[in-house]
């Protein structure tokens, strides 16, 4: 079987869209463990843009409250969740993508 670069791009794109749910679940877990309110936790969502860059999305109405948690506010220490998550995410993503792409390649080649 011949593997062309567009096949690899399709596999990579498919894998990255499949990452959104597990990464969002991990982010929710971290935010909840850090004591963020359930309403904020449930509003957070991990997304990947067209350049395959990871970002955390949330409603504009919660922006100030989330930034106060993340960076601190007058009289309140920061309780950062998003920045540490983004910093650790490349390693998590890399492992998931490698496993997924290899599995897809083996499947497409009839190995599994």
Instruction: Tell me the per-residue pLDDT of 41-97, one tens digit each, with 9 for 90 and over.
Output: 999 999 888 777 789 999 999 999 999 999 999 999 999 999 999 888 878 777 776
Give exposure, 57-74, as e/b (b: 16+ Cβ within 10 Å).
eeeeeeeebbeebbeeee
pLDDT of residue 3: 45
Separation of alpha carbons 100 and 73, rounded Å: 41
User: What residues does each domain of the chain span?
Assistant: 24-108
d(CA 13, CA 52): 8
Q: Report the pLDDT value the prediction gives residue 67, as an integer from 0 to 100.
A: 97
Q: pLDDT confidence of 105, banded at 50, 70, 90? A: low
Tell how far CA 93 is from the center of its chain: 8
pLDDT of residue 14: 67
pLDDT at 81: 96
């Amino acid at each position: 079987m011949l593997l062309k670069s567009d096949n690899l791009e399709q596999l990579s794109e498919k894998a990255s869209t499949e990452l959104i749910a597990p990464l969002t679940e991990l982010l929710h877990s971290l935010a909840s463990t850090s004591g963020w309110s359930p309403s904020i936790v449930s509003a957070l969502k991990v997304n990947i843009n067209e350049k395959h860059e990871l970002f955390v999305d949330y409603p504009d109405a919660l922006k100030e409250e989330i930034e106060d948690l993340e960076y601190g506010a007058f009289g309140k220490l920061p309780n950062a969740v998003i920045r540490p998550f983004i910093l650790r995410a490349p390693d998590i993503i890399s492992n998931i993508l490698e496993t997924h792409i290899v599995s897809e390649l083996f499947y497409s080649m009839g190995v599994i």
